Amino acid sequence: PSSRSMESLSPSTIRLDRENICAIGRLQSLREIHSLYLQQNQIEKIENLGCFPNLRFLSLAGNRIRRVENLQPLRHLRVLDLSHNRIQTLDPAELPRSLRLLDLTGNECTHQHGYRELVVGALPHLLQLDAQPICGSTGEEEEEGGSSSSEDEDDELLSEPSGPFTAGKDFFADLHGELAGRSQRRRRECLEEHRTRLEELEGLRKRRGLPPPPDPL
């Protein structure tokens, strides 16, 4: 892959889209990776994703995949884009129960009898299927050893999708940008709070006639 494709959007994101990749190879465990872009390649089979045990976002749109399989190890996966592949039939049991957003548009399987009911019945936490919201969904998830604050923020964002989730819209880039913006706002707020406390301490020192603190070494 080119240097452009290997450039991470963040330490937790890998982008390998449009690189003419034919297969997902075996890698060492990459536990820190949360988002993986593999759309618009030549991939024919979903495999070897167990090296990303904490993966939350996966785009495989616009490939040559014929079967949904080997996704069960991804117990934290929230968003899955398999749109515009060659999936003719779907076994909902192959989908991780943790999914919140799923896109299978452009696949023959979306026309099979009872497709939507089968998928919704198999995924208790699904919020959106093929750009259509799930009526009556609560978005509650099973606890698996607890969740971090960053996971809670991701879930809050995903609970109210701002627009259709399709391969045409760079959903992952938009989502990453919004999360990055939240992180920057938190840092600014912490810095402002720290400065305010320093000013309060300086004012207290002056009122009490204390000497200034020594300069740091």
The full set of domains in the chain, from first to last, is 12-135 (3.80.10.10)
Virtual torsion, Cα 148, 149, 155, 160, nearest 10 deg = 180
Cα–Cα nearest to 24, from 57, 46, 56: 46
Contact 21, 42 (CB under 8 A): yes
CB atoms within 10 A of CB 170: 15
Dist. CA 140–CA 127, nearest whole Å: 10
Residue with the larger pLDDT of the pair 1 and 61: 61
Residue with the larger pLDDT of the pair 102 and 160: 102
Percent over 70 (pLDDT), the chain: 64
Query: Alpha carbon 28 to chain centroid distance?
Result: 20
- Tell me the per-residue pLDDT of 189-201, one tens digit each, with 9 for 90 and over: 667 776 777 777 7
Give the pLDDT of residue 25.
87
Residue with tokens 């075996």: 26
pLDDT exceeds cutoff 70 at 89: yes
Strand spans (E) along the chain: 13-15, 35-37, 57-59, 79-81, 101-103, 128-129, 132-133
Give the pLDDT of residue 215.
57
- Tell me the per-residue pLDDT of 129-179, one tens digit each, with 9 for 90 and over: 999 998 765 554 444 444 444 454 454 444 334 333 333 344 445 555 555
Dist. CA 213–CA 217, nearest whole Å: 12
The CA-atom distances, in angstroms, between 47 and each of 28, 39, 73, 103 are 14, 15, 11, 19
